[in-house]
Structure 1
Amino acid sequence: MMLYHILIDRFGISDHSVGKICFKGGNLRGILSKLDYIQELGADGIMLTPFYKTDAYHGYHITDYEQIDPHFGTWDDVRQFVDGVHRRGMIIVADFVANHCHEKNSLFADGKHHDWFLWNKDGSVKGFAGLGFLPMFNTDNPEVRDYLTNKGLELCRMGFDAMRLDYATGPSYRFWKYFHKKLHAERPEIQLIGEVWGNMDFKPRCYIRYRLNCLRYSLQEARQLEYVGILDGVFNFSYQYMLCDAVHKNLPKIDNQRLCKQVKSHFKRYPVSFHLWLFLDNHDLNRFLFECKGNKSALKYAVEFTKQWNHPWLMYYGTESGFTNEKDIFDGTSYADERVRQCLSLY
């Protein structure tokens, strides 16, 4: 099953705006009008970036969980989008942020919800990635837990088939177990797939098991394994690392036995019921064609190699048009992720 991963603001438009990090004009109605195009790519579903009211075009700086950002549309547009996707026999995936909000969000700005957030010893709010304007929720506070869970339930009731759980290593395991239980009680078939990536804010659920897994596998693999029994699955960064390593080493054949053996061994570390969603790149990583040093044959090889496994996989928008980035987004430059968030014009 292939899912087409869309950054709402950057899809189906030409870039006529000024500046690097502003809204460019993509919206839900525009995506809905291009479902023929998306299905012709072979997509079985769509994953959207967040659409709540936001302080930033990408949607991850939420200022209000009650409203849709007017740049993206309205609640009616969301409902029509879900219905339109389902009428075509496709699935739809929401991107849910439970780790933090923006400082303009009234939950933080009104000063009445002090216990809803995490605080440093010096009295400053704990911010995501150290950014004070992105206060982190105290997800073990029962009021916070219930508020965010209710927001997840609302998405269930609107018909979303799965959720990407942004920065899943931030909220506590206890929170995710509660969230999982409540959403599955209402909609058993929904898939809750976590973004478990890197060591920032990561804490092992079982320290001994984690240390043993660190000795046997990579650190990323050990982190992912901690979410077995907590979530329905993870976005498989371990797989993405393997594919990057393969193209860096110029492994040219799709039936490369060494790579196949490595991937199969990786998959066997997880229960069959734990879903590993595969991808080659996303909005936070270098375009895979960049990793291939511009070699489109290597990109095609990686796509075909990924298709063969019995796992959902995501194609990041623009891959079909040969999008790449000229410079590494991890070179320390401010707003470098803009290099992989180009506008895709379909007009």
Structure 2
Amino acid sequence: MADSSWIAVDAMGGDEGLAVMLAGVARARHQFEEMKFLLVGDEAAIRDGLKRHPNLSQNAEIVHAPDVISGDEKAGQALRRAKTTSMGVAIDCVKQGRAAAAVSAGNTGALMAMAKLALRTMPGIDRPALAALLPTLGENDLVMLDLGANTEVETKNLVQFAVMGAAYARVTMDLESPRVALLNIGSEDQKGTEEIRDAAAVLRNASHLPMTFTGFVEGDRLSRGAHDVVVCDGFSGNIALKTAEGTARFVADLLKRAFTSSIRSKIGFLISRPATQLLRDRLDPNNHNGAVFLGLNGLVLKSHGGANELGVATAIGVAAKMVRADLTRRIAEDLRNFERQAA
């Protein structure tokens, strides 16, 4: 059994480098004082970086890994170097029970391939899914999956994603019966592919599960707050996620341009600063960082490659909350209940 007080961090992954990764871990340490960290990567570089974070040094161990997976490295090539890379060794810490979760900001394809090979899928799961939290206008964020792990899916995959997503929503947002919807091109029953329509039929009859199936949702309604979990294939989900992130950056840049266009605009900005700051915080991906591969026999989280110190801390915080709530066990229980009812 994994030690629930330890999280393995790929200290060498990510676009911003070791310094940002360590700063993010140190920040997370202040929020989750019971957690300890295995910092995986070049031992000499990590030891030198820890000089800036003496408090973290007391609650961390260094696990040496001489190699790093590059951002453009193919998954097949990465797999062959899993035993010597910071990403592969961090995942192996989960497999060996040294850590309860692994966090990396490195190559997503390589992380998925390594995690699936090392940890394998849970009983009842055919394919793992990448899930993340998206901001909404409602009281809670939105759990969305799959976000890129599976470009093509079958009906059973969508149903399994729904079960895992609902469990994730209950853990992260403390919801008793999350509202689950399928992403579709229309809300009518006859819309969408055969796989989506068949999955909807199965979920409508899954009243024994701790979720409420709400039907189909279109892409323009994702941020309205009417759903807690949205399920889709990885191709559609990744496009939806990237579109949402691009729109957020567009809005932020548009506001910046508008408020600096004239003296009157600058005065208006000073007056409206509290509101614009709230908007900036809601749209900042660093406040919603941390996507998890659901369906594996262990927890592996993906941080944005370009995440700053706050973003890294947010991703580690998501991992800590899932470790606390024993998410893997709760997903397994829901799957067993679903299979018993189906039988």
TM-score with structure 1 setting the length: 0.30
> Normalising by the residue count of structure 2, what TM-score does the alignment of the two structures yield?
0.30
Return the structure number with greater helix share: 2
